[in-house]
Structure 1
Amino acid sequence: MRTERQQRLIDTVAWVRIEHGLILCARPRGKDVFYIPGGKREGAETDLQTLTREIREELTVELAPDTVAHVGTYEAPIPDALVRMACYTAEYSGTLTVSSEIEEIAWFGYADRPHVPPVDQLLFDDLAADGLLAG
């Protein structure tokens, strides 16, 4: 008999885009927090399907499917749920432009870590440890 309550899982996929030691982050409309671009899976979508759809919707660019590479999967608790974020790098075509869902984009270094959610902070830690994210 289980005595603990099943924790709700928020299953997300994120695009890790690093340029000049900075990682691309996006702030959705109506939110104060920046996130690694991406989002939640719809139905039986694969990670690749979710990633390409979300990035097209949020940043109006097309990811090159043959360049997608898994960086890592991170999990962090939030009130009443556990967030899982599968992270991928990929090349893209087009011009990064905010969509109607996104208020602004910014390039963050490790010093900006406090401005992203806990699961994103885990990714920042790994990228900094690997020398990929500037201070």
Structure 2
Amino acid sequence: MVGELIDTVAWVLIVDGRILCARPAGKEIFYIPGGKRESGETDEQTLVREIAEELTVALVAETVEPVGVYEAADGAARVRMSCYRADYRGKLTASSEISEIDWFGYADRPRVPPVDQLLFDELHAAGALR
């Protein structure tokens, strides 16, 4: 039985058929950038804060639009990831929280967690991720 629900939001940025992924400091696996909400935050507020913290760019709040919600078991937990697209201002740079950023294609799917793999599958099927 899967225990705790980890509720997250993520920023889907695709350029030339590749999606931006980030590897947090101290971890081996890459994730779609984003994170968990703080008490009382909306998805949009969480997304804007997390992306500023992780990638040092400012999302343009009025351009935030939903992509989808994905849910998968990951170890003893279940992860729900609400995904959004948005324009941004600034230069993408890994903050001290992030060891590395990279652009992944569909072949990189095994390098991300199960919930992210669901997003990869959908984007690939739609022709957005090569």
Q: TM-score, normalised by structure 2?
A: 0.97
1:24 matched to which residue of 2?
20
For residues 106 and 126 of structure 1, what CA distance do their matches in structure 2 show? 20
| 2:73 maps to 1:74 | no
Q: CA 1:6–1:27 in structure 2 vs 1: closer, same or farther (change >3 Å)?
A: closer
Determine the structure 2 residue equivalent to 1:125: 121
Instruction: Report which of the two structures shows the higher radius of gyration computed on alpha carbons.
Output: 1
For 1:27-66, what aligned pairs fall within 5 Å after superposition? 27-66=23-62
Gap runs ≥5 in structure 1: none
Q: What is the RMSD of the two structures over their aligned residues, measured on CA atoms?
A: 1.0
The count of residues paired between Structure 1 and Structure 2 equals 130
For 1:76-115, list aligned pairs within 5 A. Answer: 76-115=72-111
1-structure distance, mates of 2:113, 2:76: 15
State the Cα deviation string for residues 53-96 of structure 1 (Å, max 9, x = none).
00000000000011111000000012221100000000000000
> Residue 27 of structure 1: CA displacement?
0.3
Identity %, equivalent residues: 68
Structure 2 stretches of 5 or more lacking a match? none
